[in-house]
Every structure is written in C-alpha cells, then in structure tokens.
C-alpha cells in the first residue's frame, strides 16, 4: 500500500511533481504511465526517501519509508538499472545489500537463480548489458521478500523473453497479495501488465483507474456508416445520444455509440446500410492524445516529411 | 476529453484492512549489519586492495629510503650532529606522509564511488536513515587504516632493521616515545582517512574530493612555507600535517615539533577529522540522494 498526499517536489524553480495524491493498493499491479520527464522517477524516489518532498507526504504501509524498522522487507525498489558499483560482482553487490539486513547467503543464491543471473553472478557488473543490469536490480529488489515492489521502467533493455518474464513475475507477486507499482512510458506495455493505471504528465496526475476503463476512456472509437438515407439515420442516432459528423454526403462518423447499436437502429427503422465499420485509434495514438499537452520533450512534428516515405508505401 | 483531466480519486485511509504477505525471508536491519555491509563493500573492490597494498609499500620503502639517507649523512660531523637526537621510531614511521596520500584517496573513494556509480541509491534504500552508513564507513575505514598502518610499520621496521642496528637506533618497545610516535603516526593516518571521507561526502565528486583532500594535507603546508609572513606561518601550524609533527616527531631533523605540545597537535588533527565528518553528517541527512 502506497499513499501519496499532495506530494510536491521542486528543483529550484522547476516543479517536477505537482501536488499529486494517489493510492496504490496491494494485490494489484499498478502502472505508472507517463512520458519521459513527467515525474515518475522523482515520485518513486520520494516514496523510498531518496528525495525529500518539497511539501506533502507519501507513506508505504502506513509509515514514511525511513520510519520502517526493516525497510527492505517493506519495499523492494528498482529505481534505475545499475545502481551498483561497476567493480563489484553481481553476487558481491547482493551480498552487500543482504548484509545490512542479515539476510542469508542462501537467499542471495535464490534471487540470483530466480532472476536468471546464475551464469554471470561472479562477473563484474561493469561488463553487464542493460538487460542484465535490470535483472540484477530486480534481484536486489526481491532480496528481502518485500511487501511492496517499486520498479522504475523494469522492462527497459530486456529482450522479449525478459519482458515476458517480468510480466509473469509481477503478476505472481501481486497475486500473492503484494503491492506492485511499476512505471513505463509505453501504454502497450502497461495494457498487458497492469490492473490499475496512474497516468502522469508534467508532474500532475492526468487520469487513473482500472486499465480497461482508462483505455476505453481514451480510445474514443468512431463508427463509420454509409447509407443512402444518411440524414434520417443521423437524426435517429443523434436522438440515441451519439455525436454525428458527416465528412461527405451519404457518410456519417458516429461517436459515443457502438456499431451493434447503430446497426440495430438502422434495421429497426428499415434503413439500408452499405458500410458499418468501427474505427479504433491505436493504443499509442490514444496515449499520445492523452498526454500531448504534458510532454516535456517533444520532437518537432512540423518538419517536412522525408521524400522516401511516399516511395515505401 | 474532460473525463481525462478530472481530478483523481483522493487517497483513502484503508490501511487497516490490508492483509500482509507473511515474509518468508528472515531480515533484520541493525548497525552490525550496516557495518558488515560496509566491510564487504571495501573488500569486494580491487581498488581497495591496490590502495592498501600501495600504502604498505610506501610506508616501508619511504622509511628505508630516509633511513638510508640519514645513515649516509652520519659519516660527516655536521650530519652526525644534526641527527644525534633522531629517534629510531621516527625512522620506522618516516613514510607516513606518503601513506597519508593513498589512505586519503581510499577515504574519499569510499563514498564518492557510490555517488559516481549510483550505488548510493541502493545503499540509502537499504538504510534510509543514512547516518548509520556514514558511521559504519568511518569505523570500517578507521579499522582498515589501523591494520594497514600496523602492517606497513611492521614491514618498515623489518626493512630498516639492518640500518637501525648498525647505528644503534633500534626503537625499544619499552620506550614510551616509541609508542607515541608509532601510535601517533597511525592515528594521524586514521585522521587523514576520515578527513577525506568527510570531504568526499560533502563534495560527492571523486576528482573534487581528492583534489581538496590532497591540497589541504600535502600541498598547502608545502606551498605556504615559502610565504614567510608571520601570520601565514602561524596558520600553517594549524594544517593537519604540520600539527601532526607535534606528536609524530620528536627530533628537529624530522620537521621538529613546532609551537604545539603533542596533545595540542593531536587535538588540531582530530578537529580536521571531526568537523568535515559533522558537516558531512548534516549534509547527508538533508540532501537528496
């Protein structure tokens, strides 16, 4: 359980996190979604007390993180790949972390095994790929069998097998009743992993709720209808609560009504329909629409299109 | 789109109803654990072994070099007169100014390598109250410095023994001055290490910390001695190395004791170790990691 109340972080005159309040519940995987620079990492660092909030409060399992007597058992955190000295082996790093909490060497071996690091455990971390660094970070987070897991961009740099592994792992941990809070800047990743979503942009929560609810809310699907009696149909659909636009004579674009309902309405009023197609925006497009006002670093989309794109179509 | 920008549901207080997962891994955070972790950190890095090995080598080699040079000059009447009051233990510990450099680098690196690598975030996630980390680092560093000094001075004793014998300068273990000099040199190395650890914690950057530490320890006393103004020379007395000569040396030949008694010198040196550490502790608590 993570509870944030009016959490704010300012660095100089730049506000990274802007009075956000949220609750992350146990037994679920909660996705923290937002563009780069939205405040995800800052928020996560404040949860484990690495950064002090400028104002507001965040607690883990009812207390500030630093007030817990056995911090690593409360929260296991992967805050960035390779928060590790490059000269130490993976095993030595985990042994150092374990030593602070008197965690047994057996447990160190277990998390090495669990995260698939067995073959590289005695190699120095400096030579690790990003993916192996992520696995070590996850091993470190799991070390004390924590109640709550905080993973900042855990699938970054992982190969597809690794991505699948993280998904399965976090689902299992949540099923055991743990709190799992993981961040990503990819909506598609979140749609496959998370139960609950917390969408952040420019340091403010944009929306939150169950993943499907958030996605449905954003997706804004339209139904394209062609009919010789378009005007009559439009009147009926408007009465049913739809928003209608007509891009050309005989064609309608309907928002707010399902394809089924439109088809049934047409049949009931003996209106011929020549085309009925639900057009859904892609998840990424929807996400971009959701966060477009909140993107910190944006590439210039007004640049002229490269000539090649026409040829490759 | 208005639904998207609506305020999120407020945090609710339902903490009591939350079932906890029964932890299967025994875990307990205490200072002994933090100290153990800091010890493991030290010895799991090659750079530690290199630095400590170099310290032992410098302590021994520089002592032999100095002893040989002094023995050589004893042939002339002036040399013999100048070094008549040299204590054998001074010859054994003669390399301490060089050991000071490598030990200070080790002390600074102990914390700056955590900042440069990002390890500090793992460290503070495990020990969020932070101060035990600094205390454990200080104790581990002091311990390793004492052991290294003892080994270094023992090696130095063994290496200089032929020269010491030849000139009847073998320091006696029953002589209080022997203990003052060897113990003083060891304590000075510990102070130099802690001073560098404090500076490293304050500055966080390896380059900046090593530069500042070596400037204060080595460069300033050397440079400022050429500025013969009285007030400058009085200030120089208060730098760590000149202050240390009050208890690490007894003869004029070895820099001689200045205006301080051995205990005054020790107090000045201790202050150099203590104040940066206190400032470091305050900064550590206040700053974001």
At A240, the pLDDT band (50, 70, 90 cuts) reads: confident
Mean pLDDT for all residues in chain A = 88
All structural domains of chain A with their residue ranges: 2-209, 221-280
pLDDT of residue A220: 67
- Say if the ipTM goes beyond 0.90: no
- A103 near B CB under 8 A: yes
| Model confidence pLDDT, tens digit, residues A170-213 | 999 999 999 999 999 888 888 889 999 999 988 999 889 998 88
Chain B hits for A20, CB-CB cut-off 8 Å, are 8
> Which residues 222-281 of A have a C-beta within 8 angstroms of B?
none
Residue of B nearest to A86 (CA): B117
Average pLDDT of span A302-306: 45
Q: Which of A259, A250, A219, A218 is nearest to A232 (CA)?
A: A250
Distant-in-sequence, close-in-space partners of A197: CB < 8 Å, separation ≥ 6: A30, A31, A33, A190, A207, A208, A209, A210, A211, A214
Q: What is the rounded distance in angstroms from the CA atom of residue A96 to the CA atom of residue A121?
A: 14
Distance between A270 CA and the closest CA of chain B, angstroms = 34
Is B147 inside a domain boundary?
yes
pLDDT of residue B74: 74
Q: Is the separation of the CB atoms in A17 and A9 below 8 Å?
A: yes
Average pLDDT of span B142-167: 94
Chain B hits for A205, CB-CB cut-off 8 Å, are 7-8
Please state whether A294 falls in left (phi above 0), alpha (psi between -120 and 50) or beta: alpha
Residue of A nearest to B47 (CA): A87
pLDDT of residue A107: 96
pLDDT of residue B258: 66
Chain A hits for B14, CB-CB cut-off 8 Å, are 1
Interchain contact, A21 vs B37, CB within 8 Å: no
pLDDT of residue A152: 94
At A108, the pLDDT band (50, 70, 90 cuts) reads: very high
Q: Is the pLDDT at A9 greater than 70, yes or no?
A: yes
Distant-in-sequence, close-in-space partners of B259: CB < 8 Å, separation ≥ 6: B237
Whole-model pTM? 0.85
| Residue that has been written with the tokens 């447990």 in this structure | A107
Chain A hits for B112, CB-CB cut-off 8 Å, are none
Backbone phi, then psi, for A60, in 5-degree steps?
Answer: -120, 125
At A260, the pLDDT band (50, 70, 90 cuts) reads: confident
pLDDT of residue A135: 94
Is B40 inside a domain boundary?
yes
Q: Which of A23, A31, A5 is nearest to A174 (CA)?
A: A31
Q: Is the pLDDT at A222 greater than 60, yes or no?
A: yes
Chain A hits for B115, CB-CB cut-off 8 Å, are none
| Residue that has been written with the tokens 């007390």 in this structure | A49
| Model confidence pLDDT, tens digit, residues B209-267 | 999 999 999 999 989 988 888 888 888 999 999 999 999 988 877 765 567 899 999 99
Interchain contact, A72 vs B119, CB within 8 Å: no
pLDDT of residue A174: 95
Interchain contact, A52 vs B4, CB within 8 Å: no
Secondary structure of residue B237 in the 3-state scheme? helix
Using H for helix, E for strand and C for coil, what is the string for chain A?
CEEEEEEEEEECCEEEEEEEEEEECCCCEEEEECCCCCCHHHHHHHHCCCCCCCEEEEEECCECHHHCCCHHHHEEEECCCCCCCCCCEHHHHHHHHHHHCCCCHHHHHHHHHHCCCHHHCCCEHHHCCHHHHHHHHHHHHHCCCCCEEEEECCCCCCCHHHHHHHHHHHHHHHHCCCEEEEEECCHHHHHHHCCEEEEEECCEEEEEEEHHHHHHHHHCCEEEEECCCHHHHHHHHHHCCCEEEEEECCEEEEECCCHHHHHHHHHHCCCCCCEEEEECCCHHHHHHHHHHHHCCCCCCCCCCCCCHHHHHC
Distance between B217 CA and the closest CA of chain A, angstroms = 28
Q: Which of B62, B65, B80 is nearest to B253 (CA)?
A: B80
| Model confidence pLDDT, tens digit, residues B186-217 | 999 999 999 999 999 999 999 999 999 999 99
- A106 near B CB under 8 A: no
Q: Is the pLDDT at A278 greater than 80, yes or no?
A: yes
Q: Is the pLDDT at A286 greater than 60, yes or no?
A: yes
At B9, the pLDDT band (50, 70, 90 cuts) reads: very low
Interchain contact, B125 vs A69, CB within 8 Å: no
Q: What is the rounded distance in angstroms from the CA atom of residue A158 to the CA atom of residue B265?
A: 58
Chain B hits for A8, CB-CB cut-off 8 Å, are none
Interchain contact, A66 vs B3, CB within 8 Å: no
Interchain contact, B12 vs A23, CB within 8 Å: yes
| Model confidence pLDDT, tens digit, residues A138-158 | 999 999 999 999 999 999 889
And the tokens for B237?
A: 């007395």
Q: Is the pLDDT at A49 greater than 90, yes or no?
A: yes
Nearest to A50 among B4, B113, B288 (CB): B288
Q: Report the domain count for chain B.
A: 1
At B78, the pLDDT band (50, 70, 90 cuts) reads: confident
Distance between A216 CA and the closest CA of chain B, angstroms = 11
Nearest to B33 among A49, A65, A101 (CB): A101
Nearest to A21 among B5, B10, B286 (CB): B10
Give CA angle at A140 (A164, A127), nearest 5°: 80
pLDDT of residue B19: 60
| Identical topology for domains A2-209 and A221-280 | no
Q: What whole-number percentage of chain A has pLDDT above 70?
A: 91
Q: What is the rounded distance in angstroms from the CA atom of residue B126 to the CA atom of residue A71?
A: 6
Mutate one of B41, B125, B127, B285 to test the A interface: name it (highest A CB count within 10 A).
Answer: B125
Range of the domain at B278: 32-74+86-286
Tell me the CATH architecture of domain A221-280: 2-Layer Sandwich (3.30)
Between A187 and B11, residue with greater pLDDT: A187
| Residue that has been written with the tokens 């939150």 in this structure | A208
Chain A hits for B125, CB-CB cut-off 8 Å, are 48, 50, 71-72, 75, 77, 79
| Model confidence pLDDT, tens digit, residues B79-90 | 777 667 888 899
Q: Is the pLDDT at A289 greater than 90, yes or no?
A: no
pLDDT of residue A81: 64
| Model confidence pLDDT, tens digit, residues B16-47 | 455 677 778 899 999 999 999 999 999 999 99
> Which residues 125-184 of A have a C-beta within 8 angstroms of B?
140, 143-145, 147, 176-178
Q: Which of A76, A2, A25, A33 is nearest to A192 (CA)?
A: A33
Q: Is the pLDDT at B12 greater than 50, yes or no?
A: no
pLDDT of residue B275: 97
What is the topology classification, in CATH, of domain A2-209? Answer: Rossmann fold (3.40.50)
Residue of B nearest to A146 (CA): B23
At B15, the pLDDT band (50, 70, 90 cuts) reads: very low
- A52 near B CB under 8 A: yes
Q: Is the separation of the CB atoms in A115 and A138 below 8 Å?
A: yes
Residue of A nearest to B131 (CA): A66
């Amino acid at each position: 359980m993570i509870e944030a109340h009016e959490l704010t972080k300012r660095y100089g005159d730049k506000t990274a996190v802007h009075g956000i309040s949220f609750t992350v519940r146990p037994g679920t995987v909660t996705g923290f979604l937002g563009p780069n620079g939205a405040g995800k990492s800052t928020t996560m660092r404040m949860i484990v007390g690495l950064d002090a909030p400028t104002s507001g409060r965040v607690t883990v399992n009812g207390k500030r993180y630093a007030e817990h007597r056995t911090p690593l058992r409360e929260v296991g955190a992967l805050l960035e790949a390779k928060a590790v000295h490059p000269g130490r082996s993976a095993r030595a790093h985990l042994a150092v972390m374990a030593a602070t909490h008197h965690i047994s060497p057996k447990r160190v071996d277990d998390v090495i095994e669990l995260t698939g690091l067995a073959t590289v455990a005695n190699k120095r971390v400096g030579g690790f790929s990003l993916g192996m660094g992520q696995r070590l970070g996850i091993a470190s987070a799991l070390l004390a069998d924590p109640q709550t897991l905080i993973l900042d961009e855990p699938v970054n740099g992982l190969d597809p097998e690794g991505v699948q592994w993280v998904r399965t792992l976090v689902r299992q941990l949540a099923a055991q009743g743990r709190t799992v809070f993981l961040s990503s800047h990819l909506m598609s990743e979140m749609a496959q992993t998370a139960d609950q979503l917390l969408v952040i942009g420019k340091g403010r929560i944009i929306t939150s709720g169950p993943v499907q609810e958030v996605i449905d809310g954003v997706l804004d699907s339209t139904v394209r209808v062609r009919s010789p009696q378009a005007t009559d149909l439009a009147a009926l659909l408007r009465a049913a609560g739809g928003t209608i636009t007509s891009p050309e004579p005989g064609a309608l674009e309907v928002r707010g009504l399902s394809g089924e309902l439109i088809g049934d309405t047409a049949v009931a009023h003996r209106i011929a329909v020549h085309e009925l197609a639900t057009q859904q925006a892609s998840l990424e497009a929807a996400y971009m629409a959701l966060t477009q006002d909140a993107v910190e670093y944006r590439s210039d989309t007004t640049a002229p299109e490269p000539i090649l794109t026409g040829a490759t179509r | 789109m208005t639904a998207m920008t609506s305020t999120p549901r407020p945090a609710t207080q339902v903490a009591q109803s939350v079932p906890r997962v029964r932890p299967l891994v025994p875990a307990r955070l205490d200072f002994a654990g933090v100290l153990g972790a800091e010890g493991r950190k030290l010895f799991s890095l090659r750079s530690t072994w290199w630095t400590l090995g170099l310290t032992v080598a410098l302590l021994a080699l520089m002592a032999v070099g100095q002893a040989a040079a002094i023995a050589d000059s004893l042939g002339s009447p002036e040399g013999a007169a100048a070094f008549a009051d040299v204590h054998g233990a001074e010859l054994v510990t003669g390399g301490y100014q060089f050991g000071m450099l490598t030990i200070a680098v080790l002390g600074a690196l102990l914390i700056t390598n955590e900042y440069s690598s990002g390890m500090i975030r793992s460290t503070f996630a495990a020990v969020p109250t932070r101060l035990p980390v600094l205390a454990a680092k200080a104790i581990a560093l002091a311990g390793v410095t004492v052991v290294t000094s003892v080994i270094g001075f023992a090696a130095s004793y063994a290496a200089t023994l032929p020269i010491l014998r030849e000139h009847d300068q073998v320091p006696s273990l029953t002589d209080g001055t022997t203990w003052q000099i060897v113990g003083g040199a060891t304590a000075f190395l510990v102070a130099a290490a802690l001073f560098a650890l404090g500076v490293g914690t304050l500055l966080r950057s390896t380059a900046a910390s090593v530069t500042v530490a070596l400037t204060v320890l080595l460069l300033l006393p050397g440079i400022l001695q050429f500025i013969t103004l009285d007030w400058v020379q009085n200030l120089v007395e208060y730098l760590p190395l000149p202050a240390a000569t009050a208890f690490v040396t007894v003869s004029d030949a070895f820099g001689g004791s200045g205006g301080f008694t051995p205990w005054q010198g020790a107090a000045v040196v201790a202050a150099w170790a203590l104040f940066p550490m206190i400032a470091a502790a305050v900064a550590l608590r206040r700053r974001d990691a």
